[in-house]
Amino acid sequence: MEGSQMAIKTVGVVGAGQMGNGIAHVMALAGYDVLLTDISQDALDAALDTVRKNLERQVSRDKISQSDADAAMARIKTTLTLTDLGPSDLIIEAATERETVKQAIFEDLLPHLGPETILTSNTSSISITRLASRTDRPEKFMGFHFMNPVPVMQLVELIRGIATDQATFEACQEVVENLGKTAASAEDFPAFIVNRILMPMINEAVYTLYEGVGSVKSIDQSMKLGANHPMGPLELADFIGLDTCLAIMNVLHDGLADTKYRPCPLLTKYVEAGWLGRKTGRGFYDYRGDVPVPTR
């Protein structure tokens, strides 16, 4: 820890949804004291329940000991008051993927922050530089992008805004190492690295379906067996959520103004139908029976 002016011990997590509860889980397991906040008590209760179940699963698979799980659970506290997170050494915002929501959260936090507090966002697509510019500490602001599901996925994208200083980057990098994960450093351009490469691949798979080059089954089989992908691109799109895929394609298209990022009209059509994938029971596959059935 010598030389590091910011030894991070306490972590505030904003948002108790799918990403927030996973972030709280891995931080607590790595020994950080976590304060998790949300606007809904139900969301906080559900998050603690999810973390408990996921820790139990890790214990049953001999990934961690029961005492590790108990200690991690004890390190997570919850609050409905956002400003309680102010004194944390590191704050990770994992709220809804809407810029106005994120800006409002940072504005409310600002008067309550400690002088050394590092602010970060788990955004998958919003400009870190722009979010940082609305705060009082752009040099202590960066993107801290976890992959879903957080306890399982090995990568964290660390994104520097134009003003982020080296000490902030190093402090966050150290946290990622302590989590036993790998940090990939990305520059602050739309969708960073993973989604910039993954989403156009999914979008191209939808075009391949749209143009009748292959069926859902043949496209997914081709990429699984022909490129050794663990999941086919259409199956993966259903898993991620077609609304999320479309939103990220729109961010790429708007942010880079290149026609190669044009969302496939069929992707738009599925989203308009409310067929968003697994979470709604239908997407490129129908999940309402025992076995997923291709919808075209």
157 forms bridges with which residues in the sheet? 145, 184
Please say if 145 is a catalytic residue: yes
Q: Which CATH number fits domain 194-294: 1.10.3720.10, 3.40.50.2000, 3.30.450.80, 1.10.1040.10?
A: 1.10.1040.10
Q: Which of 21, 25, 157, 235 is catalytic?
A: 157
Q: What is the pLDDT of residues 48-106, one digit of tens each?
A: 999 999 999 999 999 999 999 999 999 999 999 999 999 999 999 999 988 999 999 99
Annotated binding site for NAD(+): 15-20, 38, 97, 102, 124, 148, 279
Task: Kindly provide the b/e burial profile for residues 279-290, where b requires at least 16 CB atoms within 10 angstroms of the residue's own CB.
Answer: eeebbbbebeee
Q: Which of 21, 88, 121, 124 is catalytic?
A: 124
Q: What is the pLDDT of residues 170-210, one digit of tens each?
A: 999 999 999 999 999 999 999 999 999 999 999 999 999 99
Q: Where are the domain boundaries for CATH 1.10.1040.10 in the chain?
A: 194-294
Please say if 272 is a catalytic residue: no
- pTM assigned to the model: 0.91
Q: Which of 88, 127, 195, 203 is catalytic?
A: 195
Residue with the two structure tokens 């998958």 = 124
CATH topology of domain 10-187: Rossmann fold (3.40.50)
Closest CA to 91 of 114, 126, 118: 118
Burial-class residue 2 by CB neighbours within 10 Å (0-12, 13-18, 19+). Answer: exposed
Please say if 195 is a catalytic residue: yes
Please say if 122 is a catalytic residue: no
Q: What is the pLDDT of residues 20-42, one digit of tens each?
A: 999 999 999 999 999 999 999 99
Q: Where are the domain boundaries for CATH 3.40.50.720 in the chain?
A: 10-187
Packed helices 233-240 and 216-226: angle between N→C axes, nearest 10 degrees? 110
